[in-house]
Amino acid sequence: MNVVESSAQQQLDEVQALMARPRQPAERAAAGFRRAELLDGTGRRDEALAACGQLLAACEGLHDAGVVVPCCQALRLQAHLLRQLSRPADALAALDRLVAAYGGHAEAEIRAHVAHALFQRTWWIDEPAARCEACDFMIELLDAQPDAALDAWRVDARLLKAEVEHHRGLPQNALATLEALIERFGGAVGPGIVLRVARARLASVVNLRELAQHTQAQVLCLSVADEIEAALADATPELRIEGVRALALFFDGLGPEEHARRAELVGWLLERYGRDASAQVRRMAALRAYDWAAGLRDHDDAGAALAACERLLGTFAGDADAVVQRSLASARLNQGYVLLERLGRADDALAVYEHLIARFQDAAAAELRDIHAKATAGRLACLKRLRKTIAVDAGGPVPALSKELRDEVREKVRQGRKHGDAGEASEAIALFDEVLAAHAASSHPELRRQCARALVHKAFCLIALERFEEAIAAADAMDARHGADPSTETQEQVALCLQYKSTALDRLGRRDDELRVHDQIVARWGDSDLPELRGRVAGALFRKGMALRQASRLESAIACYDEAIARTAVARESALQLWAAKSMINKAKVLEKLGDPAGQAKAYRVLIARFGDSGDAALRERAANAGEWLAEAEGRQGRTEAQRAALEDTLARFGTAMSSEQRTRMTRELQALKARAFGKMAKQAFGRVVRRKA
Strand locations in 197-303 (E): none
For residue 219, the model assigns a pLDDT of: 92
The continuous run of DSSP H or E covering 598 comes out as helix 597-611
Residue 277 burial (CB < 10 Å; 0-12/13-18/19+)? exposed
- Contact indicator for 349, 375 with CB cutoff of 8 Å: no
Is 116 a member of any domain? yes
List b or e across 532-564, with b for residues whose CB sees 16 or more CB atoms inside 10 angstroms.
Answer: bbbbbbbbbbbbbbbbbbeeeeeebbbbbbebb
Residue 382 neighbours by CB under 8 Å, 6+ apart: 340, 346, 347, 349, 350, 353
For residue 395, the model assigns a pLDDT of: 46
Tally the residues of the chain: 694
10-residue mean pLDDT profile of the chain (694 residues): values are 52 69 79 86 85 89 87 92 86 91 87 90 85 91 85 92 86 93 90 93 90 89 90 87 88 73 79 88 86 74 82 88 88 89 85 89 80 86 72 51 84 89 89 89 84 91 92 89 81 91 92 92 86 89 93 92 86 84 94 89 91 79 90 86 88 76 83 71 54 54
CA distances 125 to 65, 112, 213, 405, Å, are: 29, 20, 32, 69
CA distances 356 to 249, 333, 475, Å, are: 31, 8, 36
Instruction: Kindly report the CATH number assigned to the domain that includes residue 98.
Output: 1.25.40.10
- Contact indicator for 354, 379 with CB cutoff of 8 Å: yes
CA 388 to chain centre: 42
φ, ψ of residue 643 to 5 degrees: the values are -65, -45
CA distances 359 to 110, 339, 346, 349, 410, Å, are: 56, 19, 20, 16, 39
Is 177 a member of any domain? no
CB atoms < 10 A from the CB of 66, how many?
14
Closest CA to 653 of 629, 684, 625: 625
CA distances 547 to 86, 385, 581, 582, 685, Å, are: 46, 37, 18, 15, 53
User: What's the CA gap between 111 and 145, in Å, rounded?
Assistant: 9
User: What's the CA gap between 318 and 385, in Å, rounded?
Assistant: 33
- Contact indicator for 424, 436 with CB cutoff of 8 Å: no
CB atoms < 10 A from the CB of 10, how many?
11
Closest CA to 502 of 460, 550, 447, 453: 460
DSSP per-residue codes, 456-469: HHHHHHHHHTT-HH
Is 439 a member of any domain? yes
Is 184 a member of any domain? no
Instruction: Kindly report the CATH number assigned to the domain that includes residue 687.
Output: 1.20.58
**How does pLDDT run across 358-398, given as a tens digit for each residue?**
888 888 877 788 888 888 888 888 887 777 655 444 444 55
Is 292 a member of any domain? no
Cα dihedral across residues 438, 442, 445, 451: positive or negative: positive
C-alpha neighbours within 13 Å on the C-beta side of residue 340: 28
Residues of the chain by 3-state class (helix, strand, coil), percent to 5 = 80, 0, 20
Residue 63 is given by DSSP the state -
For residue 232, the model assigns a pLDDT of: 81
DSSP per-residue codes, 615-655: S-HHHHHHHHHHHHHHHHHHHHTT-HHHHHHHHHHHHHHHG
Number of domains in the chain: 3
Q: Domain ends where: 491, 509, 527?
A: 509
Q: Domain ends where: 453, 475, 509?
A: 509
For residue 212, the model assigns a pLDDT of: 84
CA distances 41 to 3, 5, 47, 561, 602, Å, are: 14, 9, 11, 46, 35
Is 367 a member of any domain? no
User: What's the CA gap between 445 and 451, in Å, rounded?
Assistant: 10
Strand locations in 47-199 (E): none
Closest CA to 247 of 235, 231, 261, 236: 261
Range of the domain at 419: 400-509
C-alpha neighbours within 13 Å on the C-beta side of residue 528: 22
For the chain, what is the radius of gyration of the CA atoms? 32
Is 685 a member of any domain? yes
Is 429 a member of any domain? yes
DSSP per-residue codes, 233-261: GG--HHHHHHHHHHHHHHHHTS-TT-HHH
User: What's the CA gap between 290 and 269, in Å, rounded?
Assistant: 11
Q: Domain ends where: 78, 108, 124?
A: 124
Q: What sections of 338-423 are H helices per DSSP?
A: 346-359, 366-395, 403-421
**How does pLDDT run across 515-549, given as a tens digit for each residue?**
999 999 999 888 887 778 888 999 999 999 999 99
